[in-house]
Amino acid sequence: MNVPDLTAYLNGRFAPLGDLSVPVLDRGFLFGDGIYEMIPVYNRTPFRLNEHLGRLAASLASVRIGNPHTLAEWRGIIETIVARQPFDDQSIYLQVTRGAAYPRNHAFPPEPTTPTVFAFADPLTPPPTQLVQTGIAAVTQADVRWLRCDIKAISLLANVLARQSAVDAGVAETVLLRDGKLIEGSASNIFVVKDGVILAPPPSNLMLTGITYDLVLELADRHGLPHQVRDITEAELRGAGEVWLTSSSKEVLAIVTLDGAPVGNGAPGPIYKAMYQHYQVFKAGVMRTGKDTQ
């Protein structure tokens, strides 16, 4: 394994990523008992840090792991990680597990454990222009995950298998459907455009409401693009004029083929192009400068 020599953080210590390790009895390792976040950083400025840390706090509370840090402490850890990287645009990964305990037992350890806190940064590179221009292909699959997909849990086996199905099919993403409705992607949110209206599935326990999802709806609002948050049926997805994927790392990408069938005319549509443009202008003027007008 080739680990780059980048500064990471583990339990109060900053050290090269490759030098850090956690005990085998950590419940994150044994049970996937933990929570994570992925925060995009542009020009060394974390985007919507409060929202990401708020989502982290909500996920931790949902699984009854005490938040190990105050907002100020989290900010301090992230500031140091960001400052110590040799690149300006970063993807910060944060993970908190319930900590290590013996003996192995599914139930919470009787003695309180110390949560394991891990953070590291990767370079953040936007999707290549070519992908933006041509769009991407996706497949669909039944959503077999649990009923608390609003929790950003590290137990991601179903998401891992869903994304691997996409890779096996030679496409970029797997779109998940449950009870005849569009839910989200294996690691993204999904929007559709029907009769010129942007449709987004309503936030619920069945999906993770992305920070990018919120931003795309805000941009639609700000620029007068008609949009509606409501359930989207499988038939609407398959008959949509446009389908988009959003996430902090992928920004907004057009899905132009679904299960081998063209979406609309099989190319990124006009509303996608407008949204992509709005996103880029926002990124340059707000994300890169830290001037969040929200």
SS3 100: strand
Residue 40 neighbours by CB under 8 Å, 6+ apart: 46, 47, 89, 90, 91, 92, 124, 248, 249, 287
Place of tokens 């919120």: 214
CB of 160 to ligand PDD, least distance (A): 10
CB of 189 to ligand PDD, least distance (A): 5
CB of 52 to ligand PDD, least distance (A): 7
Give residues in contact with ligand PDD (CB under 6 A). 38, 159, 184, 187-189, 208, 210-213, 246-249
CB of 111 to ligand PDD, least distance (A): 31
Pick between residue 93 and residue 108 the one whose CB is nearest to ligand PDD: 93
152: annotated active-site residue: yes
Residue 12 burial (C-beta neighbours within 10 Å; 0-12, 13-18, 19+): exposed
Residue 238 neighbours by CB under 8 Å, 6+ apart: 258, 261
Catalytic pick among 152, 194, 273, 291: 152
SS3 229: strand
Pick between residue 33 and residue 184 the one whose CB is nearest to ligand PDD: 184
Pick between residue 60 and residue 101 the one whose CB is nearest to ligand PDD: 60
Question: Which residue of the chain is nearest ligand PDD when measured via CB?
Answer: 210
Question: If you write DSSP's letter for every residue of 149-185 in order, what string do you get?
Answer: TTS-BS--HHHHHHHHHHHHTTSSEEEEEETTEEEEE
Catalytic site positions: 152
